[in-house]
Amino acid sequence: MHFSLQLTMLFAVSTLAILPNPTAIEALKLTQEEGMELSELRETVEEIEMVDGHCHNLVEFDSNSITGGFVQAFTVGAFADADAIAFAQTSLSFKKGLRDVAELYGTEVSLQGVEEYRRVSGLQSITSTCLKAAKISAILIDDGIQMDKKNEIEWHKNFIPFAGRILRTERVAEQILEQGLSNGSSWTIDSFTEAYVSKLRSVAKEIYALKSIVAYYGGLEINLNVTKTEAEESLRQVLINATKPIYILHHRNLVDYLFLQSLEIALSYDLPMQIHTGFGDRLLDLRKSNPLHFRSVLEDQRYSKCRFVFLHASHPFSKEASYLASVYSQVYLDFGLAIPKLSMHGMISAVKDLLTLAPIHKVMFSTDAYTFPETFYLGAKNSREVVFSVLRDAYIDGELLISEAVEAAKDILARNAIRFYKISSSNITVP
Ligand SMILES: *[C@@H]1O[C@H](CO)[C@@H](O)[C@H](O)[C@H]1NC(C)=O
Ligand SMILES: *[C@@H]1O[C@H](CO)[C@@H](O)[C@H](O)[C@H]1NC(C)=O
Ligand SMILES: *[C@@H]1O[C@H](CO)[C@@H](O)[C@H](O)[C@H]1NC(C)=O
Ligand SMILES: *[C@@H]1O[C@H](CO)[C@@H](O)[C@H](O)[C@H]1NC(C)=O
């Protein structure tokens, strides 16, 4: 694997040399001993087998969900629009990502070169190449995105020692409603809630977390006082002339009502709840996905023992997320999607923001990979580079001893997720 960590380190030293104040330069120059210590951190970060707490299924090449070729891997959201795909080619993240992938495949650095390699090699071969190079020992898959020719979770175990499932709750509700359409069930709020809750219970012991995209479905502000009558009226609206696929997205009372049911299940099975926060695609109103809106749930004593993880570094609300993790014991943070989709500056500052207040034990890596195997590779590679850079700076700034930085790397890249999701399997070794 080729990391530019060494480069990153040289770069840090050389930028220090242009600081105007000579005493600052003296103070910041790395001694030989410090350089050696940093190489220990670099080795840890490069070698560690990472645990990916949040990703999605890979799909076959001829899936209808791929509309823009390989460039689509550099847009955000499973349903990229044509404009987003066209413009993605001039983003910083695409420029770097294309070079990284071309280097991995040994092709020329061009979209055509990489596309040709992919076509000739096939999905199995590139998945194997990407996942080997990613050095990820475990993945947790949210399989609730509707995608054409999606590979099942089992299929991913051909390439990774451990694969577990995350259950997307809104999708479960919609599937039950869709089945009702097919078999002629006419739901009442009671019969529907019962079907929903028993579905969650029936899989609770086989999954590692619940996941909610309530941020997409009207925002993170949950109405804890929603009544059954309100939910019932909302359900009635969903079912008027309903056709498949059903989306409950514009039926907020029902969304809130089901969210509260999900929290009860999370509590009774001690399952963590992943929460989409921050950026996404155009379906999302970013104003409403600031995690500060989640306060009603966080303040409610009934849910104080739930374990929430805010996904995507809550970008651009990373500082807010960090604050919440520092004041609420039930809040944890995950930086997948922010890495690898942002520019290098964006990725480094997102992780630095998360660590401004949040304990190291609450901050976790994931790739949020989906559809394209390269997204696993780029998520893993960029996370190693970014975590090295952030912890190196914490060392240089005198915040962490090198031994502490090494432990922090192991926590952020693997151990926090193993603990948080209670992954215990002989398939993986805890670093
Ligand atoms: C662990 O590895 C075994 C053997 O390769 C495999 O059959 C099993 O599905 C894996 N377990 C998980 C949860 O991935
Ligand atoms: C229809 O499907 C739902 C959801 O799977 C199920 O709960 C319900 O019992 C089914 N009804 C009939 C009449 O089969
Ligand atoms: C819910 O209702 C209680 C009592 O009626 C009230 O004090 C509280 O502010 C309400 N909460 C929300 C989030 O509306
Ligand atoms: C539902 O369909 C019926 C019959 O086609 C139509 O008369 C009615 O206006 C529709 N209702 C809504 C809310 O779309």
What are the structure tokens assigned to 45, written together?
């970060």
* Residue range(s) defining the domain that contains residue 414: 49-63+137-420
**For ligand 4, atom 7: residue with the closest CA:** 241
CB–CB of 93/343 below 8 Å? Answer: yes
Residue 28 banded pLDDT, cuts 50, 70, 90: low
Answer whether residue 245 is part of any domain.
yes
- The pLDDT tens digits of the residues spanning 82-107 come to 888 888 899 999 999 999 999 999 99
CA neighbor of 67 nearest in space, from 46, 51, 85:
85
Distance 92 CA to ligand 1 centre (A): 37
For the CA of 186, the nearest ligand: 2
Q: How far is CA 239 from CA 188, 255, 262, 357, in A?
A: 10, 14, 21, 45
| Residues 141-162 pLDDT 10s | 999 999 999 999 999 999 999 9
Which ligand is located closest to the Cα atom of residue 227? Answer: 3
Q: Quick one: average pLDDT of 62-77?
A: 91
Considering every ligand atom, which ligand is closest to the CA of 193? 2
Q: How far is the CA of 300 from the centre of ligand 3 (A)?
A: 11
Split at pLDDT 50, 70, 90, the class of 26 is low
The CATH number of whichever domain residue 232 belongs to comes to 3.20.20.140
In a domain, 100, yes or no: no
- Cβ–ligand 2 distance for 278 under 6 Å, the answer no
Block residue for tokens 């379906």: 283
Domain membership flag for residue 109: no
Residue 96 lies in a domain: no
Q: Would residue 7 count as lying in a domain?
A: no
Across all residues in the chain, what is the average pLDDT? 93
pLDDT in tens, 351-400: 999 999 999 999 999 999 999 999 999 999 999 999 999 999 999 999 99
d(CA 143, CA 126): 21
pTM for the whole structure: 0.91
Rounded to the nearest whole angstrom, what is the distance from the C-alpha of residue 27 to the centroid of ligand 4? Answer: 75
Tokens for 388? 């090295």
The arithmetic mean of pLDDT across residues 183-209, rounded, is 96
Among the listed residues 93, 48, 83, 81, the one whose alpha carbon sits nearest the alpha carbon of residue 315:
93
Give domain status of residue 155, yes or no: yes
pLDDT tens string 318-345:
999 999 999 999 999 999 999 999 999 9
What contacts 408, CB < 8 A, 6 or more positions away? 360, 391, 394, 400
Say how far apart CA 386 and CA 363 lie, in whole Å: 13
Tell me how crowded residue 241 is: count the other CB atoms within 10 A of its CB.
Answer: 4
Dihedral through CA 283, CA 286, CA 288, CA 291, nearest 10?
A: 120
Task: Tell whether 116 is covered by a domain.
Answer: no
Nearest C-alpha to atom 9 of ligand 2 is from which residue? 185
Ligand 4: residue whose CA is nearest its atom 2: 241
Q: How far is the CA of 427 from the centre of ligand 1 (A)?
A: 7
DSSP string, 57-98: -BB-TT-TT--SGGGGGGSSSSS--HHHHHHHTTSHHHHHHH
Residue 408: half-sphere exposure toward Cβ, Cα within 13 Å = 24
The pLDDT of residue 39 is 95
pLDDT digits 0-9 by tens, 170-182: 999 999 999 998 8
Does a structural domain hold residue 12?
no
> What percentage of the chain carries pLDDT values higher than 90?
85
The number of domains in the chain is 1
Cβ of 176 less than 6 Å from ligand 2: yes
Q: Which residues are CB-neighbours of 22 under 8 A, at least 6 positions away?
A: none
Going from the Cα of 242 to the center of ligand 4, the distance in angstroms, rounded, reads 10
Q: Is pLDDT at 185 greater than 90 in this prediction?
A: no
HEC sequence for 210-270: EEECCCCCCCCCCCCCCCHHHHHHHHHHHHCCCCCCCCCCCCHHHHHHHHHHHHHHHHHHC
